[in-house]
Structure 1
Amino acid sequence: MIKLPVEDEDEVQYSQWIMKLFDRTEQIDSALEPLTNPLEGSPLFLDDARCPHYAVSGYAAGQLSVAMGCVASLKQMLVQESEDRIHMVASPFGAYALVRNALDSAAVALWLLEPGSGTLRIKRRIMLAVDEVSKGAALRQTMDQPSTKAERRIRLKQVAELAGLQEWNPLSKDKALPTMTQILKDLERLHANQVLPWLAVWQLASGHAHGKQWAQLASNDLDVIEGTRTATGAQFQMTIRYGMLAAVLFEAVQLVETAGTRYVELSGGHRE
């Protein structure tokens, strides 16, 4: 792979913004770490008391950890630090896939935590568990391994009853988990300081994750390779555009921060 130095001053500034977003994510991580276990009497503490084996707090914290871990992995991928300088080296492929994973996990965390009702948060936690059971069973089936799907689904019905949800059936087809598109459309009302809609960012990052040319052409730069131009076409060198990556990462970090702020509200002792 050819490594081309960045000479565009705007792109250099965008690379500096990306570094600031990495720092911001580390600050969010530090703020959330002491609240892994919700304070007694807090809304999440009460949620977990009702549904201890499928804790709302644990799942939300886990999703936020995944999101922040993806951003940390992106930093490890892009940044090379020495004693006197920092280099950022980025391929046009790969970076957006990590951002997409961060968006996925942060969106699930915010969707789980967003309701003002503890009952609705618990319902969403159980819906996520039903979905996980189905996805895990599909993998085992592909690998010709035995499945405990039926037993685990029955157990989740019992979990709902123990949480005081006797009239609610989490196994009903109309209780299926919404798609990520539906989740992001719903969460957009919580989106402040918007540069791009969260759904648009996720769609672009998903296109990259699946190797789609439309996504690569929409976000990367193409430069004609010298000497290849003909009457019918040319060969191009594709390079990442730091401005676009900065915008997409900014929105991913905003989603992480919004979900993290909601987690702090619910776990820090504030009663609803």
Structure 2
Amino acid sequence: MAAAAGTDYSPSVTVSNEEQALINKLMALLQVTEQWIERTYPTAQPGSAFAGDDAKIHPYEVSHQASQSMGVAVDHLHSMRMALTGTGDNVLRIHTYAPLSLTRVALENAALALWLSSPAQRPERILRRLRLEMANLKAVKSFFGRPNPQQDAEIQRRKDRVNELAFQAGVVTNAVLAANPTASEEDIKAATRTALTNKPTATEIVQDAGQIAQLIDGDNNLALMLWRVCSAVAHGDRWVLTAFDIEVIGPSTPGVSDVRITAPTDLLVAGVQVALAMYGAAYRVYDQRVTSHR
């Protein structure tokens, strides 16, 4: 992935040659989003793995969630490119916090698509998709807050439907029978309901996806580490400022100084690299699932 020949992006302030090289590298990395933003995601072909998944749990298709998540990831990366070049093709203004927040969303959604698509066995792919759906239904109920009998009844109806689809798809049947060969249908249904209430966390998703995409350096899961840093920035957590460049401008009041805080460009470049790699891994698995029976 490289920028057009001869492209040299100038920041709005004077920077070192090393910093200039990082800025050019960042823009070269983001160049690929110009193609990705126009990408359409093929529907699952008859006989493919995703076609089989989707048929069992309509209208909660695995392929639809995976393609949506990849679209969200690309949208945020492309918006970063647009924001950086918003003052002109050869002038950049890199905000301190916003690019890392955009990177966080891109990384998280690309990871979700990979986490959802990667299991080799259909029951696990379906279980992950329906765990997400149960979390969605819980979020809807929480959003509206106060009890609403009609709305609550509709949410419960949808939960019952998700539970039944999961049971029919046998998402935990083999595991239950392996542990207890005499398990009854009610035992399997109860285990299914329990499995579906296990809400996937972003930490679980990014950590697993980082391993699948082989974004590992020794004992460090790079995807998880960078996602945590970017999430801290998005939430306004102060601990992350220890990784930033802090320049003391001068005293403000006794015991307090004015400072200029700058996000390290190499951190942003690393985050974008990991997000792009995660998206690439997700798309490759998605493409396999919509065309192959495995």
Higher radius of gyration, 1 or 2: 2
What's the CA shift for 1:142? 5.9
Shift of 1:198: 0.8
Alpha-carbon displacement from aligned partner over 1:155-205 (angstroms, at most 9, x marks no partner): 212222444557455431675023222223323322336576111011101
Structure with greater contact order relative to length (CA < 8 Å, sep ≥ 6)? 1
Give the AA of the match of 1:186. D
> What's the counterpart of residue 92 of structure 1?
96
Please state if 1:151 is matched with 2:157: yes
Q: How far apart are the structure 2 equivalents of 1:50 and 1:202? A: 33
Which range moved further: 246-255 or 4-13? Answer: 4-13
Amino acid at match of 2:75: G
Using a 3 Å threshold, how does the CA distance of structure 1 residues 254 and 6 change in structure 2: closer, same or farther? farther
Matched-pair contact (CA < 8 Å) for 1:28–1:257? no
Secondary structure in 2 matching 1:7:
coil
Q: 2: CA distance between counterparts of 1:241 and 1:179?
A: 28
Match of 2:260 among 237, 252, 266: 237
Q: Is the 8 A contact 1:153 1:171 kept in 2?
A: no
Distance 1:28 1:180, change over 3 A: same
The match for 2:245 among 193, 198, 221 is: 221
TM-score (norm 2): 0.79
Mapped to 1, the partners of 2:134 and 2:30 lie a distance apart of 34
Alpha carbons of 1:135 and 1:50: their partners in 2 closer, same or farther (altered >3 Å)? same
CA pair 230-58 structure 1, distance change in 2 beyond 3 A? closer
Q: Does 2:143 correspond to 1:136? A: no
Encode CA deviations 1:223-253: one digit per residue, 9 max, x unaligned: 222x549996642111232211111111111
Q: Could you tell me how far 1:144 is from its partner in structure 2?
A: 7.4
Unpaired stretches in structure 1, ≥5 consecutive residues: none
Offset at residue 11 of structure 1 (A): 1.3
In 2: Cα distance, 1:92 partner to 1:143 partner? 42
**Structure 1 residues 2-48: Cα deviation after superposition (integer angstroms, max 9, x where no partner):** x9604211111111121122222344455x5141x122222111211
Is the Cα–Cα contact under 8 Å of residues 96 and 263 in structure 2 kept in the other structure?
yes
CA contact (8 A) 1:130 1:171 kept: no
- Mapped contact 1:130–1:170 kept (Cα < 8 A): no
Per the alignment, do residues 193 and 24 of structure 1 end up closer, same or farther by CA in structure 2, a change over 3 Å counting?
farther
- Distance in 1 of aligned mates of 2:94 and 2:232: 18
Matched residues in 1 for 2:12 and 2:36: separation?
33
* Cα-Cα RMSD: 2.8
Amino acid at match of 2:283: G
Partner of 1:235, secondary structure, is strand
Contact 1:126 1:170 in 2 (8 A): no
Say if 1:180 and 1:222 are closer, same or farther in 2 by CA, change over 3 A.
same
Please state how far the C-alpha of 1:208 moved relative to its aligned partner: 0.3
Q: Which residue of 2 aligns with 1:122?
A: 126
Residue equivalent to 2:209: 187
Point out where structure 2 has 5 or more consecutive residues left out of the alignment: 1-10, 172-184
Q: Write the distance in 1 (CA, Å) between the matches of 2:123 and 2:34.
A: 32
Q: What is the alpha-carbon distance in structure 1 between the residues aligned to residue 212 and residue 284 of structure 2?
A: 12
Residue 29 of structure 2 aligns with which residue?
Answer: 21
**CA distance in structure 2 between the aligned counterparts of 1:198 and 1:129, rounded to whole angstroms:** 24
| Cα distance in structure 1, aligned partners of 2:110 and 2:124 | 18
- Letter of the structure 1 residue corresponding to residue 202 of structure 2: M
Percentage identity across paired residues of the two chains:
24
**CA, structure 1 residues 52+204, in 2 after alignment: closer, same or farther (shift >3 Å)?**
same
Cα shift at 1:133: 0.4
Q: Structure 1: how far apart are the matches of 2:87 and 2:252?
A: 38
**Code of the aligned partner of 1:23:** Q
